Amino acid sequence: MGEFVRLEVDGAVGTIRLDRPKMNAINGQVTAELKAVAEQARDTAEVRAVVLYGGERVFAAGADIKEMSTITYGEMLAWGGKLQESLKVVARIPKPVIAAVTGYALGGGFELALTADFRVLGERAKVGVPEITLGVIPGAGGTQRLTRLVGPAKAKDLVFTGRHVAAEEALAMGIADRVVPDADVYATALEMARSYAQGPAVALRTAKQAIDDGLEMDLDSALRLETALFAGLFSTEDQKIGMTSFVENGPGKAQFTGR
């Protein structure tokens, strides 16, 4: 466990918890710890779904600008590369990942939330990429993951203006998947994670791979990938359990083992 980032395991759900007072600002240490904890969540077999959470007050208000302000061009290439790599590890956790967003998720914090498969926002949450107000652009996925999520025009509006987006607008734009009272954010994300954790782990991992990798391919190549991944699941125990249960008991009653 790191000083500022840790993995908390409750049953089949692992919570990647950011805890750097006061605003979970992302510096070099947080970046390194986030990568290590994401790898731990990835490699812990009993963890079958993951929640990203910054606490009741704030998700992550952005990068540590004080640390960044004196960095040279060469140093930033290395610093930014490490942050990109850490967020890539989070994005590639082969399990359902839900970001539980309270308060602010801005800049690098928003880019972290964008690595999740789903985002639950509190009613008073605000998200955005305000880097343009500092004379730079988002550098950890804000111009890429955001564009793939909401389309180029909406992404350009947020990147060009740096404005903060309230929860209901985020829901309308497709950034948020659910908006709930602030006090219910973490519990709602946990409930979602537990529902996914009951499913067939190998099939869920394969589904995430098919969707995420397929988005980077032309349609014909993506369809070939889907066919290969689909066929591969017929070697799993959960496929046998799922189909046998369907034939004998009807749909939705299978008890999967995760193998």
Residue 111 annotated in active site = yes
DSSP letter for 60, please.
B
Per the CB < 8 A criterion, the answer to whether 259 and 235 are in contact is no
Catalytic residue among 8, 111, 168, 237: 111
Chain length of the chain: 259
CB environment 198-213: b (16+ within 10 A), e (fewer): ebbbbbbbbbbebeee
The encoded tokens of residue 178 equal: 């659910």
Q: Is 63 exposed, middle or buried (0-12, 13-18, 19+ CB in 10 A)?
A: buried
- Listed in sequence order, the residues at least 6 apart from 91 whose beta carbon sits closer than 8 Å to its beta carbon are 115, 141, 145, 212
Catalytic residue among 39, 131, 226, 248: 131
Residue 33 annotated in active site = no
Report the alpha-carbon distance of residue 254 to residue 181 in Å, rounded: 33
- Listed in sequence order, the residues at least 6 apart from 145 whose beta carbon sits closer than 8 Å to its beta carbon are 91, 111, 114, 115
Positions marked active-site: 111, 131
